[in-house]
Amino acid sequence: MANLNDSVRAALDACGASGYEGPHATRTPLTGEELIGTVEHTANDVDQAIAKAQAAFREWRNIPAPVRGNVVKRWGELLTEHKRDLAVLVQAEAGKSMSEAMGEVQEMIDICDFALGQSRMLWGKTMPSERPGHRLMETWHPLGVVGIISAFNFPVAVYSWNTALALVCGDTVVWKPSEICKLSAIGADALLARAVKDCDAPADIHQLILADRAAGEQLVNDPRVALVSATGSTRMGREVGPKVAARFGRFLLELGGNNAAIVAPSADLDLALRGVVFAAAGTAGQRCTTMRRLLVHESIADQFVDKLVAAYKTLTIGDPRDESVLVGPLVNKASFDKMQNSIAAAQEQGGTLLVGGKRVLEDQFADAYYVEPAIVKMPSQTDIVREETFAPILYVMTYTDLDDAIEVHNEVPQGLSSAIFTSDQAESEKFLSASGSDCGIANVNIGTSGAEIGGAFGGEKETGGGRESGSDSWQAYMRRATNTINYSGELPLAQGVKFL
């Protein structure tokens, strides 16, 4: 294989990145070796970035939305041109297969298409007024500076969801990426800078911060940041939400997921098998939508679990630069340790490890952490099952009655993604009803991962309640004003009030 840093440097150069190199290096999960180092921004740099974005907002908000849309259109064109370059950076930092890294960049391209169309549809409603000669309507206006804090597992896609919509809505952006995914951030930001320049838009509408957690705290606490969109753990969300709320700012939280699927007796088991394996083992279990719990009807449990264990034994594990590999590395040793601790806790709570859980390739990669995806059969939903472990562990349980399965499904603090595999329409409708899944995403006959751009993405309960990407999620980046226009020549008051 080609030298990793040579490939990274070539990808950065192709994206047009410059001035990024510095002493602060991170390790790639692929091999454990150090990647090219970057600069580290100071607290003063963060302050200046927010100030620049605030100043640019005053101009950007007055540019017509369809004209603002041209910037994301051009960004999408450049992302298409440099799709593989950016995917190389994502793979190097997040440890994804090239197929998944390319898919992540495709999400960026797709949201640019979506946002371009949205730039002509930032519409409000017109309502009938109770007063004659009056018109009642609502308008939507740009919100201000949007602070984005993103996570390592999707280092560029979720950022782009926020950025593309924020820009067409007339906001400016300050982005603080994960400390371990700075190079992919530099590449993505460089392509956006090229798009801004090509469209003759204000240069400071996007700002990139390369720094540690303290920089994120600055974004959270700064009153100039109108909206903080943060992706990460529930623990992080507990800190971010109250701090932003205390200064009456807005926040959009995309937090933990403890996603489950139900496999009903009528399910197409071959289809369910493929859906479960990808959702549970793909990306080495490091998606927020990774399937972590599986509820299988007792009448088919032995048959289906045997198929599942057999499928797990065929998974190819290794350096995902080899395109035959399906499962890449965990991001670091801390993730590996958490996985081992969770498996041990599950066994202490009555679980049986059916397959996987071991570290592999340690002779080849002493500083990288490759593991076999694990399946643990549990007697019930114990404390460890209610927790999210960001690793490829699938807890399997059985059920007798669908209502009981849904109750167990919902009996966790998180509420992001969910699925049912069934050929019974009544079962699928119940799962999607108000008394069914309590998650923000509920699927039928597909797994818990693999959301499309057109649907709003997010979850309930400790997942944070935020919505990103499609549908009407653009409204989170704007402020609403209700307008009353009086063209009657008179001054009647609402509700028939008499004053003079």
- Residues identified as active-site: 254
CB atoms within 10 A of CB 303: 11
C-alpha distance across the termini of the chain, in Å: 85
Distance CA 374, CA 347 (A): 12
Q: Which burial class, exposed, middle or buried, applies to 125 when counting CB atoms under 10 A from its CB (0-12, 13-18, 19+)?
A: exposed
- What is the DSSP code string of 279-313? HHHGGGG-STT-EEEEEEETTTHHHHHHHHHHHHT
Q: Is the dihedral of CA 157, 459, 215, 336 positive or negative?
A: negative
The rounded distance, in Å, linking the Cα atoms of 477 and 105 is 22
Which of 241, 103, 95 shows the shortest CA–CA distance to 160? 103
Q: Where in 30-70 does DSSP place strands (E)?
A: 38
Q: Closest Cα to residue 209, out of 220, 200, 201, 223?
A: 220
Site of tokens 């937090």: 255
Q: Are 112 and 76 in contact (CB under 8 A)?
A: yes
How many other CB atoms are there within 10 angstroms of residue 454's CB atom? 11
**Dihedrals phi, psi of 28, to nearest 5 degrees:** -75, 140
Report the C-alpha gap between 329 and 470 in whole angstroms: 30
Q: Which pair of structure tokens corresponds to residue 23?
A: 């002493």
One-letter amino acid for residue 134 of the chain: H
- The dihedral region occupied by 379, where left means phi > 0, alpha psi between -120 and 50, and beta the remainder, is alpha
Rounded Cα distance between 367 and 262, Å, is 37
Q: Looking at this protein, which amino acid is placed at residue 197? A: K
252-266 burial code (b ≥16 CB/10 A, e <16): bbbbbbbbbbbbbee
The token pair that represents 8 in the structure block: 């990274």
